[in-house]
Structure formats: C-alpha cells, structure tokens
C-alpha cells in the first residue's frame, strides 16, 4: 500500500467528534461535514439574505417532493438519464426513487426494522448515511456511512436490482461523507470525517493507497475522463494524477471548512463550496481562480453543474438558499429559499437542466423548476 502525504501546515484547527455538545452555538457552526451532520436534524433557525444589486435573479418554484426519510437528507445523486434519484440520510439508509412519479423503488440496507424511530432511538436518535452515488453503469450504488455504534466509517456497494450488498470497504473511523467511483467503474474514492482519504480497487476490495495529511472533513471526486481526482479538506484543495497518484497542483483558497467539490462535465473547471459563503471556480489546467460566487456568507454545502456546463447550482446550509449561476460570467440567474427544510445539505442538477433537487434537513428532497428565459 502506498501512502500519499499531503503538506502539513501550522495553526490549523482540529475537529471535534461527530457528536458536539448539545449546547453548541449553532449560529457559529462551521461547514465541517462531521459537525454539520449532527445539526441537520436539529437546526431550526433561518437567517436572511440580501439580494444583489441591479436586476434581481428570477425566482424558482418548488415542483415536486420525495418524502420518505424520517431524518435529514444529507446527500443525493441523480442518474445520468435523470430517471432515478438516490438520497442518503440521517435515518441510517439510502433510498432509490423514481423521479417521474416520486415513488420509492428500494432502500439500502433493505432489512431495516419497520419501526425505524424505535431503532434509531438505540443510537441517540440518528444513524448517518453521509454519501451516495451511482456507479457508471448505474446497476449499482455506493454509500458512505458512520456505523450506528459510531465505531467505524464504511463504504458499501449495493446491487440496485436485488438490494443486496456487493462489497464493503472499511474507511475513516469518523464516518464516510464523500464517495466517487472512477468513470471506468474500477476504483472507489472515499473521504471521511477525520481527514482520511482512501482509494480502493472495487473488484478485489483491496486498498490502493491512502492520501494522508488532508486536514479536517474531506470531500473527493474523479474527473469525468478519469485522468485526475481531487481531494479537499479544511486547508488544501489538491488535484492528483489518477494513474501515477502524484500531486499535480494545489489550488488557491482560504483555510476554511468545505462542503462539496465537483468537476465540470468537460473536466476543464472545478467548483467547490466553502464555509465562508463562497463557491470558488478554478481552471483545472492552470489552477487559476475563475469565479468567486458570493452566497451571502452562509456555508455552501451543495454544488452541482448543469450537463452542458453552462450553469452552476449552489445550496447553502442555514439560510436554505438555492442559487443558479451563469458559469461563464459568474452572474446569479435564479434563486429560491426552502422555507420548509430550514437547512440544506446538498443539491443536484437534472440532466435536461430544467430543475434541481435539494436535500433538506426536514427529511424531504425537493424539486425546483428553473424558469425558461
């Protein structure tokens, strides 16, 4: 096993356990995925948002709901054809949905007790599945979680048709909050709550390498062509060669907690959400910062690209704000606020670009229609 050592820096903060004190001041909550996880089911406040100067962005309207989780939805992913949605939540499961009907197709694991509330009470009221994604052929999904006893973080590969677990990968001890499968379907990248990132060979289940020294909760992603991967923690956003596993470049950014990081469909740009309320967009080839999308100071916890690469969607945590941006100009085009969810955790763009879906802290994923220009 090879170990990839990230650069260590002085003066960076350390992260508490997955369960913060009950009297923690939520208004000072950072976007660390581990700490945000606990408050997704508890946060009950909203703060205002100041509109930008000039022509205000057009409003989006809610056009559908996916109701089934009994705790917050933490992560979601749409299939490439847009016909299926997978959501991961604080109720210890991932749910597969039919996007046309809103009906539930399957849940993972399939054998949870019928009285889920009573089951969750054994574990302090929640059990976190922190991430979910489709395999490239979409016959399988991968989920990342913190085991109910809080002792291990694992990634699990599930067969969509049978609902059975195909393989299990032992990962970060503080939970797995970000997963990505390489475009050829051969490797799994998993990021956890304590800064551990692991790369696995899926067919054999063997660990290929660890990326150490990535401070804070981490997010990961493969480039669309599989040539690169990105790792992001509270201090560094790093591009790596996916074959040699050598570092390519370190992207310019502040030292702050992270939400999501996503490659554009053509792999030329990279967008990342941060706790300082900014979604940053970089050139992958040069590492140059292209845009800083101002989300009004609230933690940017969800970032997604439209399939044509022309738009970027962002979701913020405490203000539950959804914004659609022009990826070329950096201008804000559309806006909505989820007043029912109270807080958001993730966002996904539909394949046809006509709507986005958000992951709500109230346990509901909502569809938001984008007006035609």
The reply to whether 31 falls in a domain is no
Flag the least confident range among 27-36, 119-128, 177-186.
27-36
Q: What is the 8-class DSSP label of residue 62? A: E
pLDDT at 128 over 50: yes
Q: How far is CA 347 from CA 125, 318, 329, 365, in A?
A: 25, 14, 21, 9
- Tens-digit pLDDT profile for residues 45-96: 333 333 344 567 899 999 999 999 999 999 999 999 999 999 999 999 999 9
pLDDT at 328 over 50: yes
The reply to whether 7 falls in a domain is no
pLDDT at 148 over 90: no
Q: What is the pLDDT of residue 255?
A: 83
Q: Determine the Cα–Cα distance for residues 83 and 368; give it in Å rounded to an integer.
A: 16
For the chain, the average pLDDT equals 84
> Kind and range of the H or E element at 293?
strand 289-294
The reply to whether 294 falls in a domain is yes
Q: What is the pLDDT of residue 366?
A: 98
Q: Determine the Cα–Cα distance for residues 317 and 279; give it in Å rounded to an integer.
A: 13
The reply to whether 4 falls in a domain is no
Q: Where is pLDDT greater, at 257 or 72?
A: 72
Residue 197: which of 216, 182, 184 has the closest Cα?
216
The band of 216, judged by pLDDT with boundaries at 50, 70 and 90, is low
Q: How far is CA 230 from CA 140, 222, 260, 283, in A?
A: 23, 6, 11, 13
Range of the domain at 228: 48-369
The reply to whether 288 falls in a domain is yes
The reply to whether 293 falls in a domain is yes
Q: Where is pLDDT greater, at 27 or 349?
A: 349
Q: Which residues contact 305 (CB under 8 A, 6 or more apart)?
A: 262, 263, 264, 265, 271, 311, 312, 313, 327, 349
- The domain total for the chain is 1
The band of 23, judged by pLDDT with boundaries at 50, 70 and 90, is very low
The reply to whether 358 falls in a domain is yes
Residue 265: CATH number of its domain: 2.130.10.10
pLDDT at 192 over 90: no
The reply to whether 23 falls in a domain is no
Q: What is the pLDDT of residue 51?
A: 39
Q: What percent of the chain lies above the pLDDT cut of 90?
A: 65
The strand ranges marked E within 135-185 are 140-146, 153-159, 165-170, 176-181
Q: Where is pLDDT greater, at 360 or 298?
A: 360
């Amino acid at each position: 096993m090879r170990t990839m050592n990230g650069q260590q820096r002085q003066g960076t903060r350390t992260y508490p356990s997955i369960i913060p004190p009950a009297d923690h001041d939520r208004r000072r909550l950072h976007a660390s995925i581990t700490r945000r996880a606990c408050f997704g089911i508890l946060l009950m406040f909203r703060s205002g948002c100041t509109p930008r100067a000039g022509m205000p962005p057009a409003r989006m309207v809610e056009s559908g709901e996916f109701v089934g989780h009994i705790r917050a939805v933490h992560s979601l992913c749409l299939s490439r054809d847009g016909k299926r949605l997978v959501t991961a939540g604080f109720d210890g499961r991932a749910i597969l949905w039919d996007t046309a009907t809103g009906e539930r197709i399957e849940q993972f694991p399939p054998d949870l007790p019928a009285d889920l509330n009573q089951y969750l009470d054994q574990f302090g009221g929640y059990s976190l599945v922190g991430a979910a994604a489709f395999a490239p052929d979409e016959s399988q999904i991968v989920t990342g979680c913190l085991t109910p006893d809080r002792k291990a973080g694992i990634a699990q590969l599930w067969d969509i048709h049978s609902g059975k677990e195909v393989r299990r990968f032992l990962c970060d001890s503080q939970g797995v909050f970000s997963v990505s499968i390489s475009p050829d379907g051969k490797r799994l990248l998993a990021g956890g709550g304590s800064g551990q990132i692991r790369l696995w060979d899926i067919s054999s289940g063997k660990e290929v390498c660890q990326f150490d020294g990535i401070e804070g909760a981490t997010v990961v992603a493969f480039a669309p062509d599989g040539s690169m991967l990105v790792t992001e923690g509270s201090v560094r956003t790093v591009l790596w060669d996916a074959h040699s596993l050598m570092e390519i470049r370190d992207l310019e950014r502040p030292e702050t907690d992270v939400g999501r990081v996503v490659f554009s469909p053509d792999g030329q740009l990279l967008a990342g959400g941060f706790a300082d309320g900014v979604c940053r967009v970089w050139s992958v080839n040069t590492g140059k910062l292209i845009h800083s999308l101002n989300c009004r100071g609230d933690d940017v916890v969800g970032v997604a690209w439209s399939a044509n690469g022309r738009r970027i969607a962002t979701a913020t945590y405490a203000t539950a704000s959804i914004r659609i941006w022009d990826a070329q100009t950096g201008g804000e085009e559309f806006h909505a606020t989820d007043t029912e969810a109270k807080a958001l955790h993730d966002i996904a763009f539909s394949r046809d670009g006509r709507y986005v879906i958000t992951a709500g802290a109230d346990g509901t994923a909502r569809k938001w229609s984008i007006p035609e220009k």
